[in-house]
Amino acid sequence: MSEHAGERPIEAGIRTDLRDTMSYGGYLDLDRLLSAQHPVSVPEHHDELLFIIQHQTTELWFKLVLHELRAVRANLDADDPARARKGLARVKHIFRTLAEQWSVLATLTPSEYAEFRGSLGSSSGFQSHQYRAVEFILGNKNAGMLTVFDADPAARAVLAELLDSPTVYDAFLRHLARQGHAVPDEVLHRDVRQAWTMHEHLVPVVRRIYDDTETHWADYATCEDLVDIEDAFQFWRFRHLRTVQRTIGFTTGTGGSSGASFLRRALDLTFFPELYEVRTGIGASATPPRR
């Protein structure tokens, strides 16, 4: 059989009759996925599809982040830090992917966005319940946020469950206590509905781990994994801020927030303050090297 120049023939073993069998498109439910983009601008603006897909893919990644962080928490509850660390590593890479994704949206110029921004109404990323869920499970809880989702009972239920549940950090600290570390009772029995705040008495516990990494290697490595998560999350927040500034300057957000100023304040939030505080004194008392 003759072949056209440059044409690669289909291998004999590849299945081409996909009737009555599981196909790629069927497994991924692509008919529904690829028909879920509904631009609302009239006439439809070319760049609105980019805007929709950017945010839809972010929500898909958030779904996986929540899936992984729930498993991380369960593995720490089961004193299985190795499996927990695998999940933390995956979440870190997801947030690195999400941060890089902002570079695609940054190709949307202010003039282009202005042509369809008015069509978005009051919709805003502020209303993403999955983003709030990620914040909740990492420690930045806010019971007042539930009212934003009163019109969406399913989303509100997700947040209410996470509000009442220990965070990933709570699970880690309880794991440390079971390994013999002197985690203060006030930390172990704190009100998990409250946002995490700095616990000064926890810093010496963390310092003990960092001062003897050989003895406490698994705990030390997990501390660093948590720092990786926070760094990756904060870098995603920063890229979000810069993209917003690049696109709308300091204009008020579509959901009523102050826009860039609101996002900048979020950079001051921290999930694991003790893991950063402990770095201040590391090496301060070490003997300087001989010359």
131 is in an annotated binding site: no
| 282 labeled binding residue | no
Cα 130–chain centre separation: 9
55 is in an annotated binding site: yes
Residue 113 annotated as lining a ligand binding site: yes
> Which helix H or strand E contains 204, and what residues bound it?
helix 203-211
Q: Is 53 annotated as a binding residue?
A: yes
Calpha distance 152→163 (Å, rounded): 16
Is 51 annotated in a binding site? The answer is yes
CA 68 to the chain's CA centroid: 10
With contact defined as beta carbons under 8 Å apart, do 134 and 62 qualify?
yes
Burial 45-84 (b: 16+ CB within 10 A, else e): bebbebbeeeeeebeebbeebbebbbbbbebbbeeebeeb
User: How far apart are the C-alpha atoms of 69 and 192, rounded to whole Å?
Assistant: 16
Per the annotation, does 54 bind a ligand?
yes
- Known binding residues for heme are 240
- Known binding residues for substrate are 51-55, 113, 117, 254
- Known binding residues are 51-55, 113, 117, 240, 254
